[in-house]
Amino acid sequence: MLRDAGISVRTGGIAHDGVDSVITESMHEALGQCSAWIMGIPPVSAALLERYPHLTVLSRRGVGYDTIDVAAVKQLGRVLTITPGSNESTVADQAVGLMLAVARRLFESHRRMQAGETGVLVGTELSGKTVGLVGLGRIARLVARRLRGFDVRLLAYDPYAEQSAAREAGVELKPLPQLLAESDFISLQTLLNDSTHHLINDLTISAMKSDAILVNTARGELVDDAALLGALKAGKLAGAGLDVLGSERNSSLDGVTRELLALPNVICTQHTGGSSREGLARANSLAAQCVIAALQGKPIPASCVVADARKP
């Protein structure tokens, strides 16, 4: 698509040092020659933007941009876009899949069979339970739609959601303490900001049922992983399904992550909630469309724009 639009394409590479995304030397070489960058989740600082003054367009394949210094993007006159809608279905599928996997103890059963152990592990049903959605954005509403077939009661906490949106989604808006106290499954689909950082902590976990299951497919920093680990080890929660972890951004939590991974009632995936073939294809296509429009001076879909230096 980019080449058909007459745009030259360079590829670099993002490596991982075990915790953080790292921009490789080949990527630095490419950025020095490029006007636009289609990216995943590498850190983008003011210093990096100042290093590459010709890099005018940043197109993020995904909806989060908390690894990007948005203020610097605006101050330095660049364009930043995201790809809303591209992987929302994929993440919603992952959230429901983790609920089922933890509740029915699928990974535990798999490991027992690998070890040649006999006996049946008894899990719990998702059907007929109460599910609390923390956040009622697009992904949460898709989770709610998928859960209707399980005949669950749906609660949601979102201080910005309107009653009309809740009714349309088939959920009851509740204060967070009530949602935590009444939910058998709690699924995090909220944004990460100062007010939601470590929203799940010792205090909020203490408000949950001891047989509740926590699922996080949003951002790792929403959960105090050390508090979650302590609660799981003490039997204060039944289990957790985690697609994101605090150690993604904070290497000091590596030990906590290893302990979580060792627990039989925890299933962790590698921030792959949005990584289906279909979701990635949609994200790639929309990211490329944003780059083409920005470089050619054409309008970018309004839903994709985080910052646009061409506008007053």
198 is catalytic: no
Amino acid at 23: I
Instruction: Report how far residue 65's alpha carbon sits from residue 10's, in angstroms, rounded to the nearest whole number.
Output: 22
Give strand ranges (E) for 3-124: 14-16, 21-23, 36-39, 57-60, 79-81
Q: What angle do CA 60, 64, 68 make, to 5 degrees?
A: 65
271 is catalytic: yes
Instruction: Report how far residue 169's alpha carbon sits from residue 99's, in angstroms, rounded to the nearest whole number.
Output: 19
What are the distances in angstroms from CA 134 to CA 71, 230, 311? Answer: 27, 22, 34
Residue 217 near residue 164 (C-beta atoms within 8 A): no
Instruction: Report how far residue 73's alpha carbon sits from residue 273's, in angstroms, rounded to the nearest whole number.
Output: 27
Instruction: Report how far residue 191's alpha carbon sits from residue 31's, in angstroms, rounded to the nearest whole number.
Output: 29
Name the active-site residue from 112, 145, 153, 271: 271
Name the active-site residue from 60, 219, 249, 282: 219
Name the active-site residue from 88, 108, 221, 248: 248
**CA-wise closest residue to 38 among 272, 290, 276:** 290
Structure-token match 């949601």, residue found: 156
Give catalytic residue positions.
219, 248, 271
